[in-house]
Amino acid sequence: MKIKFKIATPERVVYEDEIDQITLPTKVGEITILPNHLPLVSSLMPGEILIKKGNEEMPIAVSGGFVELHNNNLVILADTAERVEEIDIERAEAGRRKAQDTLEKKQDADEVDFTALAAKMEKEMARLKVAKKYKKLRPSPQIKIEKDEE
């Protein structure tokens, strides 16, 4: 038994296939979905989705969205989603630094600005975490890459 899976963003379908299991970050915590899971609708939080198909694992960085599961059909509508090989570590680090600098400079920013900047920071941190965890890259002089110990 497999799960029919599709993850899409407003721009594209990121991945679509039959899979064995998936682990994803939701508002209630990280959950793993196996075939014949109970129906589910949930908010997706920024972080890592890990898809398993046979002996293969595919990590995807997401910035949020929604999850719906019904009768072994799983659909994720993500705000943004990138496979690990698509993530540019330098660009993600630059985006995180820019959001952090802006946040620090706007001490008296209104709530809307703060919320948008916090969302940007969460997105970039999710991208960096997935990229650093899975990419086999040598660190460049500007970026220090450390593997998370979880």
Q: Mind listing the pLDDT tens digit for each residue in 21-60? A: 999 999 889 999 999 999 999 999 999 999 999 999 999 9
Q: How many CA atoms lie within 13 A of 43 on its CB side?
A: 6
- The backbone torsions φ and ψ at residue 52, rounded to the nearest 5 degrees and listed phi first, read -120, 130
Residue 146 pLDDT: 41
Same fold yes or no, 3-84 and 87-134: no
Residue appearing with tokens 């594209």: 12
Give the CATH H-level superfamily of domain 3-84.
F0F1 ATP synthase delta/epsilon subunit, N-terminal (2.60.15.10)
Residue whose structure tokens are 């299991």: 21
DSSP letter (8 states) at residue 129: H
Token pair for 131: 């990229």
Give the rounded percent of residues in the chain with a pLDDT score beyond 90: 49
91-143: per-residue pLDDT in tens?
Answer: 777 777 777 777 676 655 455 466 776 677 677 777 767 777 766 543 433 33
Considering only the top CATH level, what class is 87-134? Answer: mainly alpha
As given in the structure block, the two tokens for residue 57 are: 């694992």
**How do the domains of the chain map onto residue ranges?**
3-84, 87-134
pLDDT at res. 144: 37
Among 26, 40, 45, which residue's Cα sits nearest to residue 74? 40
Give the pLDDT confidence score for residue 141 in this predicted structure: 36
CA 70/CA 73 separation, integer angstroms: 5
- DSSP character string of 80-125: SEEEGGG--HHHHHHHHHHHHHHHHH-TT--HHHHHHHHHHHHHHH
What is the Cα–Cα distance from 27 to 19, expressed in whole angstroms?
23
Averaged pLDDT, 68-80:
96
In the structure encoding, which two tokens stand for residue 25, read together? 């970050």
- The structure's pTM equals 0.70
C-alpha 44 chain-centroid distance: 9
